[in-house]
Amino acid sequence: MPTVHPPVDPRLDLFAEIDRLRRERKAVILAHYYQDPDIQDLADHLGDSLELAKRARDAKDAEVILFCGVHFMAETAKIVNPSKVVIIPDLEAGCSLAEQCPADRLRAWKQKHPEHHVVMYINCSAATKAESDIICTSSNAERVIRSVPAGKPILFGPDKNLGAFLIKKTGRQMDLWPGACMVHETFSSQKIAALKARNPDAKFIAHPECEEHVLQLADFVGSTSKLLEFVQKDAGKRYIVGTETGILHTMKKHAPHKELIEVPYEDRTAACQGCNACPHMKRNTLEKIYLALRDLQPRIEMAEELRKRALLPLERMLALG
């Protein structure tokens, strides 16, 4: 059951309170690029999954890690740094990819392919990680796939779109789990093509979680961090940004003279099921951050045996650099 708190006093200066509590609790605040701008701005460290996993592992001086992202990211922080209290503003902040690949179904898939090497995208639960040989993120996925001995067959999950992109990049044959990100799958190639036609000087940059027909239109494909770096270093001036909307805030800060255009998406339902904002990431709010720091709840906890099994494939990834 989700925790229900009494409403936060609206007179509170939440920024000041969060600052006070972060000092009192010796907390480090990690935030993903898909968080709301206010949360990105107050974080001690901002990054993608790989950068934040490293920040969590290296948070030696902190007693508390407050993870402003989704559940599997906070779980990863606990796996790599178990002596810290790891809290998340909203325990219900999930991920469509992680939900689509539970550990028991991965185990059954592995049993049908016992000779395969299991590479799992970091967007999965600790229990699913524990069933994997190695983890990857979108930043290092190509390197991870190339580290698997040539000729060794690969099971890749849970993102079929990232998997298909990696098959193209590396030439490796892989069996793909049929999962997808509910946000990146809503981007419309027809609307992107029309937008590109109206803006011929704008480059379309896309995250590899997008579907193949969308990636075919892209001038550059990369992880969230790579997209950010591209916009900063590229000589162009205008970009259609094919990923979750939160990154635009940091892109504007780092490349203030560039024009950024949000990716067009399919309007699938009246409720926000078809948009470029991740409903899971957006569950985190300033109020919930304040409450999490005040109460040191909700916490990420897991059995030590599970943590150790989930750590192994993460360590293999981190050892690749």
Name the residues that contact ligand SF4, by CB under 6 A.
Answer: 34, 70, 95-97, 123, 181-183, 244, 278, 280-281
Q: 119: which 2 tokens?
A: 């590479």
| Nearest one of 31, 83, 72, 75 to 55, comparing CA atoms | 31
Please give the single-letter amino acid code of residue 44: D
Stretch (H or E) spanning 144: helix 141-147
- Residue 150 makes CB contacts below 8 A (sequence gap 6+) with none
For 289, counting Cβ atoms within 10 Å of its Cβ (0-12 exposed, 13-18 middle, 19+ buried), the class is buried
28 or 210, CB closer to ligand SF4? 210
Residue 63 C-beta: closest distance to ligand SF4, Å: 27
Residues 317, 134: contact at Cβ < 8 Å?
yes
Residue 97 C-beta: closest distance to ligand SF4, Å: 5
Residue 116 C-beta: closest distance to ligand SF4, Å: 24
- Within the chain, where are the H helices? 14-24, 37-42, 49-57, 71-80, 96-99, 103-112, 126-129, 141-147, 160-170, 189-198, 212-215, 224-233, 247-254, 286-295, 304-319
81 or 186, CB closer to ligand SF4? 186
Residue 23 C-beta: closest distance to ligand SF4, Å: 29
39 or 70, CB closer to ligand SF4? 70
21 or 221, CB closer to ligand SF4? 221
34 or 230, CB closer to ligand SF4? 34
Residue 180 C-beta: closest distance to ligand SF4, Å: 9
Q: 202: which 2 tokens?
A: 């704008």
28 or 122, CB closer to ligand SF4? 122
- What is the distance between the alpha carbons of residues 314 and 296, in angstroms, rounded to a whole number? 26
- What is the distance between the alpha carbons of residues 244 and 262, in angstroms, rounded to a whole number? 9
Residue 313 C-beta: closest distance to ligand SF4, Å: 19
